[in-house]
Amino acid sequence: MLDSPSPARESSHLVALAKGGLLVLLPLLTYLPAIQGGFIWDDDEHVYANPVLMSEQGLWDIWFKENALPQYYPLVHTTFWLEYRFWQRNPTGYHLINVLLHTLSAICLWRLLKKMEIPGAWLAALLFAVHPVHVESVAWVTERKNVLSGLFYLLAASVYWRRFVAVAPPEVAAARHESTTAPPSGRWMGYALFLVLFLAALLSKSVTSTLPAALLLMIWLRQGRIPRRHVLLLAPAFVIGVAMGLHTAQIERDFVGATGSRFDWSFAERCIIAGKAVWFYAAKLLWPDPLTFFYPKWEINAASAVQWLYPLSAIGLVLLLGSLRHRIGRGPLVAVLYFGGTLLPALGFVNYYPMRFSFVADHFQYLASLGLLVLFAALAASWIERIHSRVQTPQSRPLAAYAAQAALSMMVVGLCVLSARHAHVLADEERLYRDTLAKNPASDVAHNQLGLLLRRRGELQEALRHFRQVVEMDSQPEAIDRANILATEGLLLLEQDQPLAAIAKVQAAIDLWPNAGRFYFFLAEAQRANGDFEAALQSATQALERGDRLPMNYLLHARLAAETGDYSLAVGSYRRALAMGANPEAAAELAWILAAHWEPQMRHPEEAEGLAYFALQSRVGIAQALETLAAVQAQRGQTKAATTFAQQALQQAEKSGDARHVREIRQRLEAYQRDGAYQIAKP
């Protein structure tokens, strides 16, 4: 007969279940503002306006086509490609997946630290889950790189530890009568699984290449030495990690653009950058306020003795902890070495594009933060344990423990509040840039991005003010910054009904920066206003060729193609606009072509009818949608229904005050009343 589980064991399971539940619930509540948020900064390039994600061929391109994407992290973009099939341009799904991946990483960290027998495992995982420095990694869709690679990193570490590291140090294992190695039957299967998970982490973000070194550090922490077999086992992972890191650095340099005079620092200057960055990240872990998307860029001077204190003090701390390891243990030294070593790829010794704006960013320490967070949690757990052991009176023992736990609880609640507040900032692009400028008024990239956003929204005067501030702050402004001013001035002239002057301004912007696709769309708008539809279509086509493939741009291209009589080209662009998400304007205009084209093979009345009803439900393009339904009914011989729809379309056009459209609908209405179908006139 089976023994009944003991009450102590049941209690232990309940405690573990409660801890796991809290580890899931707290991040979900903390990141609720992010889940409800939108896209920010370069999410367009990576996600919602990325043509690779919209294509069925895209999955192949993600893995095998060179430079198909801004960075070669194919596993990340594979998740985006799959998700695009479910929620397309709706940000909620992407945000939710990011939060869930981060939560799973926290749970995995908890179980891994428990397996390593490190004190305060659950507290460390909880701090990792809700710490404000991780908000940028979780709330920014593009940083799927961090949360996905982090999960694979921790899973790989867990597999290796379980299969190849002793459950306890050899002398302790012998006393417990435990084996110090994994069973031979599962060892090599475990090793293969470790390599697969490590490769998955690398294909999500190459910063995880530091995992083999981190594992050796943890083995040294546990055993006081690094056995030769672990060096041999991890050697292939070291080679793969270095190769992937070099590949990423090459992409950053040659494709992303991390090269040129703005990245021209000497080795001495890079040492100072690294030293300042290490202390900056440690300080943000200790006091995570204020946080901002673009931190001020430091002035680096290798001739300054004060600035050399940063790297020298960091090295001095490592040496001090090394000398004290026999007195205070190896833990603090391992934590600091892990922190600095995992940060190493982002310390400035290798160029990466964000160095153009700032030398530091919160998302760079996503994994590195584990070193100091785990150290703090272990110290806190040991502190509470000492309280238990030192308090002699049984009645006072719980009170002292409750006070310590209450202090930690208040700290966790404070971190949750700060994280939720920061997630709220990152939930809206305009709020993000305005928050950045409030904390860092000299951020040229924040001024520029806010200007671009305002220009898209039609607030041209304020956009121009931000573009001019970018130029005024830089003694040698880039051509793109001066071009943004010219292009915006052109749009203002277009608003003032001066298309020829607008064309000249925008053309000057293109001469300065010919690769900006959006400038060609501005030129197309000006040429269209000037009545030159052929030139406008050519400019819009050039814009799409340069990668400016937002839905509104495909819509403009389709309209220009229709205005020049190239309805086949127009249909293709309308379909691309619709493929990027619900677009009632594109639906209404495409429906009309599919209903009334003069060539029978171009007409698709059932599809046209469906698109027209969609536009009607969206309350966009109502008159044109009703005209479409009239044309479809007329072709079916339903004269009465066609006349009714046409009369409704006429009423809508009269309300809008469009005299030309009213005349066109009356002509079509007369055709329907004569029992005739209407077709677009062949050019």
- Residue 508: which CATH number? 1.25.40.10
> What Cα–Cα distance (Å) separates residue 466 from each residue in 13, 131, 181, 488, 676?
58, 33, 62, 11, 56
Residue 599 lies in a domain: no
Residue 458 lies in a domain: yes
Mean pLDDT to the nearest integer, 494-517: 94
- Give the pLDDT band of residue 667 (cuts 50, 70, 90): confident
Mean pLDDT to the nearest integer, 316-339: 96
Mean pLDDT to the nearest integer, 465-472: 94
Mean pLDDT to the nearest integer, 472-488: 90
**pLDDT for residue 671:** 79
> 308 and 257 share a domain?
yes
Domain finish residue from 541, 574, 593: 541
> 306 and 408 share a domain?
yes
Answer whether residue 420 shows pLDDT above 90.
yes
Residue 642 lies in a domain: no
**pLDDT for residue 353:** 85
> 404 and 449 share a domain?
no
Residue 676 lies in a domain: no
Domain finish residue from 426, 452, 469: 426
Mean pLDDT to the nearest integer, 382-397: 68
**pLDDT for residue 178:** 42
Residue 37 lies in a domain: yes
> 295 and 369 share a domain?
yes
Mean pLDDT of the chain: 89
The pLDDT tens digits of the residues spanning 167-225 come to: 555 555 555 444 455 555 567 888 999 999 999 999 999 999 999 999 999 999 999 99
Residue 613 lies in a domain: no
> 348 and 202 share a domain?
yes
**pLDDT for residue 181:** 52
> 451 and 420 share a domain?
no
> What total number of domains does the chain contain?
2
Answer whether residue 654 shows pLDDT above 60.
yes
Domain finish residue from 512, 541, 570: 541
**pLDDT for residue 3:** 41
> 417 and 447 share a domain?
no
Handedness of CA 617, 623, 627, 633 (dihedral sign): positive
CB 248 within 8 A of CB 346: no
Residue 106 lies in a domain: yes
**pLDDT for residue 135:** 98
- Give the pLDDT band of residue 4 (cuts 50, 70, 90): very low
> Distance between CA atoms of 556 and 560, rounded to whole angstroms?
6
Domain range for residue 94? 16-426
Highest mean pLDDT among 244-253, 469-478, 504-513, 547-556: 504-513
Mean pLDDT to the nearest integer, 242-249: 87
> 353 and 464 share a domain?
no
> 251 and 342 share a domain?
yes
**pLDDT for residue 280:** 98
> Distance between CA atoms of 452 and 460, rounded to whole angstroms?
9
> 453 and 395 share a domain?
no
- The percent of residues in the chain predicted with pLDDT above 70, rounded, is 93
**pLDDT for residue 245:** 87
Candidate from 82-91, 329-338, 576-585 with smallest mean pLDDT: 576-585
> 139 and 188 share a domain?
yes
> 222 and 301 share a domain?
yes
Joined together, the tokens standing for residue 546 give 């340069």
Joined together, the tokens standing for residue 497 give 């009904």
Residue 117 lies in a domain: yes
- The percent of residues in the chain predicted with pLDDT above 90, rounded, is 63
Residue 339, burial from CB neighbour count under 10 angstroms (0-12, 13-18, 19+): buried
